[in-house]
A and B are shown apart, each in its own frame.
Chain A
Amino acid sequence: AQSVAQPEDQVNVAEGNPLTVKCTYSVSGNPYLFWYVQYPNRGLQFLLKYITGDNLVKGSYGFEAEFNKSQTSFHLKKPSALVSDSALYFCAVRAGKSTFGDGTTLTVKP
């Protein structure tokens, strides 16, 4: 069975500081990993994915994520946070079907 863990319910950062939203996964075989973002009162939006290749993947809105096979992690990062990045972030793993983490609420304060 596949699973995703987002160990932090909430992440708070100051605008301009780097941010990290953590995700670890468990899956048999090669993982397909994704990050999605959900802004208030809106549907989920695809941010980025790791399928194969370079461990550092870049996505929308300046976000990137680093795949670490030995640590089974896929942390979402951004060098300089914006207030507009405040949202709910979901990590997901795909093996047959998608399994989503419980989500991490990111709050960026001015």
Chain B
Amino acid sequence: SAVISQKPSRDICQRGTSLTIQCQVDSQVTMMFWYRQQPGQSLTLIATANQGSEATYESGFVIDKFPISRPNLTFSTLTVSNLSPEDSSIYLCSVETGVVYEQYFGPGTRLTVT
């Protein structure tokens, strides 16, 4: 398994600003993922972050809006830029361990844009 922490746990931001979310894992992992989840709803994959290469974004998500850094095998950041109320959501960091495709999730960052 893996223990994942995220900072901040929640934030309230003004329209037009940006928020950077940090994800720290207690072990080295190859695959890291960023998801968005409306409370009580399903997860939407934003991008896959691989160390040493650019993130791979899913349809509907672009690097200018959601820049991702992955400087090493235990850390990643997701920035949500030029915030609008539609960006209000829970953002989840996830990793995949060496055990076949098992994913582990951080506690999430609840973002509210006013």
Residues of chain A touching chain B, judged by Cβ–Cβ distance below 8 Å, are: 32, 34, 36, 42-46, 49, 51, 88, 90, 94, 97-98, 100-103, 105
User: Besides A32-B101, A49-B100, 13 other CB < 8 A contacts?
Assistant: A34-B101, A42-B107, A43-B92, A46-B104, A49-B102, A51-B100, A88-B40, A97-B45, A98-B45, A100-B42, A101-B42, A103-B40, A105-B40
Chain A residues contacting B48 (CB-CB under 8 Å) are 97
Q: Which residues of A contact B106 (CB under 8 A)?
A: 43
- Which residue of A32, A44, A97, A101 contacts B105 across the interface (Cβ within 8 Å)? A44
B53 contacts the other chain (CB 8 A): no
Secondary structure dominating the interface of A: strand
Query: 6 shortest A-B CB distances, which residue pairs?
Result: A43-B105, A44-B105, A43-B107, A102-B42, A100-B43, A94-B101
Q: Is the CB of A46 within 8 A of B40?
A: no
Chain A residues whose C-beta falls within 8 Å of the C-beta of B41 in the assembled complex: 102-103
Residues of B within 8 A of A102 (CB): 41-42
How many chain B residues touch A (CB < 8 A): the figure is 20
Contact with A along B46-79 (1 / 0, CB 8 A): 0010000000000000000000000000000000
The CA of A36 and the CA of B4, in the complex, are separated in Å by 16
Q: Which of A36, A43, A51 has the most CB of B within 10 A?
A: A43
Q: Which residues of A contact B92 (CB under 8 A)?
A: 43-44
Q: What residues of chain A lie closer than 8 Å to B33, measured between beta carbons?
A: 98
For the complex, is B103 an interface residue (Cβ under 8 Å from A)? yes
14 intermolecular pairs with C-beta atoms under 8 Å apart: A32-B100, A34-B102, A43-B4, A43-B107, A43-B108, A44-B103, A44-B105, A45-B105, A46-B103, A49-B100, A51-B100, A90-B42, A98-B33, A101-B42
